[in-house]
Amino acid sequence: MKKLKQRWNITSNWQLTVIFIVFAITGSTSAKFAGPLTEFIGLTKDAGWYIYWPVRIVIIFPIYQVLLVFFGWLFGEYHFFWNFEKKMLRSMKLGFLLKN
């Protein structure tokens, strides 16, 4: 945990705990939202796993990004998650989505 705290520039175990909680809530919530959205666009498991799951993952991705910053803000860690988000998008070559 010490290396992770250094890497993320975190000073306390409490802050690390809050960050882990935000990651957990964000992942669960985005996965939960993906189900109704796939149904809304008319995609069911009957389409085959090779279509259903890749489309569902593509749907989850932007939901996750938005919720990560939202829950980070809600738990008082907005700056950490906004910086995390920018770093992740740049590493995925999607930095053009950010305003500089």
Q: What is the pLDDT of residues 79-95, one digit of tens each?
A: 999 999 988 888 888 77
Largest CA distance in the chain: 49
Please give the model's pTM, rounded to 2 decimal places: 0.82
| Token reading at 3 | 């290396």
Vertex 70: Cα angle to 69 and 71 (nearest 5): 95
Looking at the chain, how many residues does it have?
A: 100
Residues of the chain with pLDDT under 50: none
Closest CA to 81 of 33, 29, 26, 32: 26
Q: Which H or E element spans position 78?
A: helix 78-91
What's the pLDDT score for residue 46? 87
